[in-house]
Amino acid sequence: MILINLLPHRELARKRARELFNLMVGGSALGGALIAGGIYLWYQNSITNQEERNAFLQTEIRKLDNEIKEIASLQEEIEALKARQQAVEDLQADRTLPVHLLNDAVRHLPDGIYLKSIKQENRNVLLSGVAQSNERVSDLLRNLSRHSEWITQPELIEIVASNLALSPREQRRVYNFVVRVQLQQASSAQAASAAKPAAKPAAK
């Protein structure tokens, strides 16, 4: 039996071409979707790995911050202990300040002056006395300013002229004065004393 294809040959070819085109388009879309999905998964995996690394770094940074805080706290404690130790050493050394004050006052007291009282309040000291003349008081201020390692900043507070009765018939003109000085810390005075021999050769 002979079969006769009554459908137009061209129409059949177009139909097959459309089916092939649709198949290629579908395959391309599926391939593109697979590629896009693969790229998305790769990026997502990279982002996850980076986030894990960031989280690890942040954890380590927090640990380092805590260690730095501990070190800073230890340094503060060490500085506080050093300050306390220095304060104790200064107090122990400053116990001899009255002795040095009296020693320097006697050593640098010019002739024609005698002291009536010495009053100390913290590091401020008031020296009250009687002098034969204004020049004697100036000599006292000069001696304390230049030659004393324990007494600094001598300052004349007042000087008042008065008459001193030596006998019923004899009177002498004298000058009552008050001088204020400051006591050096033991550590500063010792440092100044140690520096003096080294400075002598340079002066020559």
Angle between helical axes of 186-203 and 9-94 (0-180°, round to 10): 90
| Domain ranges for the chain | 12-95, 97-199
Which option is the CATH number for 97-199: 3.30.1360.100, 3.40.30.10, 3.40.630.30, 3.30.365.10?
3.30.1360.100
Task: State the Cα–Cα distance between residues 161 and 174, nearest whole angstrom.
Answer: 6
Along the 204 residues of the chain, how does pLDDT read in single tens digits?
665 555 566 777 788 888 888 888 888 888 888 999 889 999 999 999 999 999 999 999 999 999 999 998 888 899 999 988 887 877 676 677 777 778 877 888 888 898 899 888 878 889 999 999 999 999 999 988 887 778 888 899 999 998 877 777 778 889 999 999 888 766 665 555 555 554 444 333
Give the pTM: 0.47
Mapped onto helix, strand or coil, the DSSP state of residue 190 is helix
Sign of CA dihedral 82, 83, 86, 92: negative
